[in-house]
Chain A
């Protein structure tokens, strides 16, 4: 009978998604205990492999909450957001929002932003490669008038504004972290990028963050400096410009009327 097999796929998939081990679906032949044992292997494979994938993507979160809580979190997350993409690297992209509404984690409101840093880190890691521009090349091409320039940014660039010290918490849990206690207080503006092989997680001032956000929206350098000066009247554009190039995140520069190179 055409279309009969879909019932088998449906029954199998439903048994995989069921939160508690389900009774053996009647579509499978054999002794119910034997069918249940077989299904249990598949259910365990799914949960273990996806929990491991989350652990690989969120190692800092895993360290912060501990192995047992993380497994519980992974289980609950799977039942709220089962993977919808064949790209396993994309699994867990809703974890920050999930954590922020997860009652058992309500006393740890910073976990969501730490998870955002880890997502941005992995996105930067896998982002397309591109050559970054040197300040010399930029100045040579700008013919003196840099205020009107618009910039193209490296595909790996990610910007996160956090009410918590999310980057410092992340840094503290890196293998090469300094052992002395960091001052973990206040919000942070975070810039994540991978100009070459290595992913960098930087903290920048609120004014610099506004300037980079403005540039990333495609507005010229003059608008970015205005935005930064609104934030911080003592903002130093030259210092910012020098600092911007140390991140190696600019890949092109052009005037508004030209097409990006």
Chain B
């Protein structure tokens, strides 16, 4: 988000070889404060300059009363906050002049509110034209921490809106037993199983491995990407084969 320097030089070089997915972490779309127009304009400049294939943000807040917390916190799922988030997404899509994807957050605490997260996200997509970014690790982490069923949550998402998937590793806090979305290890098999089920029904989706704590050597990160690619092709094969063929073959 700086004006110049090596980060822009690198991103320019990368853009020449690859499609980009720009992932925002601090617009505070789920927040009570108005959006920070300076920050939104900085984002617009990045989008205008690099023309990424995908742009995403979170159903979360990170700023309140002018203080910026550098963390992604789920908002209360109420009609009141829905109207606010919908207006924020409209504003972002308006300024950027394009569709964005909204990602489900990870939760460590039940936030007061009477709406379900999948229906909140589906309704946002329907009413604003935004897409969804399904973070399957976040679903798994929240389901464990709040005591709901992760597969049911994913099935409640309208797959037609999902434009990207995130996978990541998480940690377990020994004292509390909470699962922590720390992006600091390999993707767990539980998350992989949910991913395969999703792909089997939804079809292929651009998928990103998030690993930004204790970042491993590139080779190890590439192994995780290969693993996800195998999960995807395995799920697609299963989806295209009649059930008895799979049975006969296995």
Contact = CB atoms under 8 A, between A and B. Distances in A.
Partners in one complex: yes
Interface of A: 2-6, 8-10, 12-13, 16-17, 27-30, 35, 37-42, 45-46, 49-50, 53, 82-89, 91, 125-129, 155-156, 194, 197
B80 A2 contact: yes
A182 B19 CA distance: 48
Given A5-B80, A9-B31, A197-B9, A83 B67 contact: yes
B3 A126 contact: yes
Given A13-B65, A86-B68, A41 B108 contact: yes
Interface in B7-38: 7-9, 26-28, 31-32, 36
Interface string B59-70: 001111111111
A95 to B, nearest CB: 16
Given A37-B178, A84-B66, A42 B3 contact: no
B66 A9 contact: no
B51 interface: no
A82 B32 CA distance: 18
Nearest to B35: A86
A29 B110 CA distance: 7
A86 B39 contact: yes
Nearest to B40: A86
B78 interface: yes
Given A2-B80, A29-B112, A30-B110, A9 B178 contact: no
Contact of B109 (A6, A42, A125, A129): A42
Contacts of A45: 71
Given A30-B110, A39-B109, A86-B28, 13 more contacts: A8-B76, A28-B109, A35-B109, A38-B176, A53-B70, A82-B68, A83-B69, A84-B67, A86-B62, A89-B2, A127-B2, A129-B5, A194-B5
Q: Interface centre among B1, B8, B27, B71, by most A CB within 10 Å?
A: B71
B6 A6 contact: no
Given A5-B32, A5-B80, A88 B70 contact: yes
B4 interface: yes
A41 B81 contact: no
Contacts of A83: 67-70
Contacts of A155: 3-4
Contacts of B139: none
B116 to A, nearest CB: 16
A255 B109 CA distance: 64
Report, as a range, how many residues of chain B touch the other chain: 35 or more
Contacts of A17: 67
Contact of B173 (A5, A27, A41): A41
A16 B76 contact: no
Contacts of B67: 13, 17, 82-84
A6 B80 CA distance: 10
A38 B107 CA distance: 8
3 A-B pairs closest in CB distance: A126-B2, A38-B109, A129-B4
Contacts of B81: 5
A18 to B, nearest CB: 13
A161 to B, nearest CB: 25
A126 B109 contact: no
Contacts of A35: 109
B76 A126 contact: no
B145 interface: yes
B3 A87 contact: no
A37 B64 CA distance: 22
A136 B9 CA distance: 28
19 contacts: A3-B80, A5-B84, A8-B76, A8-B112, A10-B65, A28-B111, A35-B109, A37-B175, A37-B176, A38-B108, A41-B180, A42-B109, A82-B69, A83-B68, A84-B68, A86-B27, A89-B1, A89-B2, A129-B4
Nearest to B72: A45
B78 A5 contact: yes
B135 to A, nearest CB: 16
A28 B8 contact: no
Contacts of B84: 5
B102 interface: no
A49 B71 contact: yes
B243 to A, nearest CB: 42
B73 interface: yes
